[in-house]
Amino acid sequence: MLNEGLASIDTRAFEQCCSLQSITFPSTFLEISTGAFRSCDTLREIVLNEGLQKFGGHVFEKCTSLQNITIPSTVDEIGSSAFFSCYDLRDVVLKEGIKKIKVGAFESCPSLERITIPSTVIEIEYDAFNNCSRLREVDLYNEEVQIDEKVFTGCTSLQRFKFPGLSTRLDNVIRAGQRDIEAKMDDIPSVEWRSGELSIPAVSREIENRLWRRVDTVFEVDKEKLDKIVKLIRYYEVREATTLFELALWKAKIDQAEGATDRGAYRTEVPGPVKDAILKYL
């Protein structure tokens, strides 16, 4: 355990400390510098503190005994190759607040089977999950996250991406009475949504790797299907919003007309051209 008051660890400070098995960071800690615990191959337990701000590159690279890690919400980005070749790493928790996952951050972590990307992440750089051969499920809470090319290269077990945020929005639209969206969702092939879970198949393509003179297989979300779903949900959200607006206008007119008996006479609709313009903006 590191003492309270410590704020940072210098570059490669504990590199190749082969007897180090656990480390707990104090609440005052702010920065882990590049390669600080690189190749500590018996390091099994790491407790990072909320308040940690900088997570450098190669920090826990080749910590081959590490099995789980929780990245605090105060970390802005996970450094390049931070967990490269952590062969036993199985459970990774990324808290809301993290914005970027840098190059090769979890590359060659073959025991990693599932990863949840929080809604605050805006970019995942290339090779971030390269050669995570058992990775089968990726949950993306931000459907607009920028996923660079080759993020999931060699992830041969990856079949689908899940979108919990879109699932919630879809359920809200249906509960609001816009049930005809269900038939339109069913028309999008290979997309599954049930019990509050929406998943879109991964697609693969081959790209030339000139550096290593080989052809790599890249796995990525089917962007065409994702775009269709996002536009469809947005359309019905706006349609529901215009319906609520019409009801609000209707109620306001009735409230202003004391003693009104014919409520239908006070109904006000958003003009057709205006409604069409609103709905077509998508």
Name the residue range of residue 142's domain: 8-158
| 250 and 142 housed in the same domain | no
> Per-residue pLDDT for 120 more than 80?
yes
CB contact set of 238 (below 8 Å; sequence gap of 6+): 278, 279, 281, 282
The pLDDT of residue 167: 94
Residues 120 and 251 in one domain: no
Would you say residue 241 lies in a domain?
yes
Domain boundary among 139, 158, 177: 158
Same domain for 30 and 145, yes or no, is: yes
> Would you state the pLDDT for residue 243?
57
Residues 111, 133 contacting (CB under 8 angstroms) = no
pLDDT computed for residue 281 by the predictor:
43
Name the DSSP letter for residue 192. E
Is residue 252 situated within a structural domain? yes
Which has more pLDDT, 268 or 135? 135
**What total number of domains does the chain contain?**
2
pLDDT of residue 107: 97
d(CA 76, CA 78): 7
pLDDT of residue 261: 53
Average pLDDT, the chain: 87
Asked if the model's pLDDT at residue 272 lies above 70, the reply is no
SS3 231: helix
Asked whether residue 170 is domain-assigned, the answer is no
Amino acid (1-letter code) at residue 232: L
Is residue 39 in a domain?
A: yes
* 27 belongs to a structural domain: yes
What pLDDT, on a 0 to 100 scale, did the predictor assign at position 2?
A: 86
* DSSP category for residue 249: H
Query: Do the bridges between strand 197-209 and strand 160-162 make them parallel or antiparallel, or are there none, so unpaired?
Result: antiparallel
Residue 102 sits in a domain whose CATH number is 3.80.10.10
User: Which of the pair, 237 or 247, is modelled with greater confidence?
Assistant: 237
Same-domain check for residues 36 and 139: yes
Classify residue 109: in a domain, yes or no. yes
pLDDT at 270 over 70: no
Does one domain contain both 15 and 129? yes
Range with lowest mean pLDDT among 76-80, 122-126, 204-208, 260-264: 260-264
pLDDT digit string, tens, across residues 32-91: 999 999 999 999 999 999 999 998 999 999 999 999 999 999 999 999 999 999 999 999
Q: Are 128 and 37 contained in the same domain?
A: yes
- Give the pLDDT confidence of 165-201 residue by residue, as tens digits: 999 999 988 888 888 999 999 999 999 887 778 999 9
Higher pLDDT, 273 or 50: 50
DSSP secondary structure letters along 8-74: EE-TTTTTT-TT--EEE--TT--EE-TTTTTT-TT--EEEPPTT--EE-TTTTTT-TT--EEEE-TT
281 versus 57: which is more confidently predicted?
57
Same domain, 139 and 26: yes
In this prediction, residue 252 carries a pLDDT of 53
Pull the structure tokens for residue 221.
Answer: 């979300």
Which of 33-47, 232-246, 264-278 is least confident? 264-278
Q: What's the rounded Cα separation, in Å, for the pair 185 and 166?
A: 12
Answer yes or no: is pLDDT of 219 > 90: yes
What pLDDT sits at residue 260? Answer: 52
Last residue of a domain, one of 142, 158, 174: 158
User: Are 60 and 147 in the same domain?
Assistant: yes
Tell me the residue length of the chain. 282
- Whether 254 and 129 map to the same domain: the answer is no
| In a domain? residue 141 | yes
Q: Are 139 and 250 within one domain?
A: no
Task: Give the C-alpha separation, 162 to 160, whole Å.
Answer: 7
pLDDT at residue 235 in the model: 87
Look at residue 55 and tell me if it is in a domain: yes
* Better-scored residue on pLDDT, 276 or 20: 20
Domain boundary residue, one of 93, 126, 158? 158
Of the candidates 46, 51, 90, 103, the one whose C-alpha atom is nearest the C-alpha of residue 72 is 51
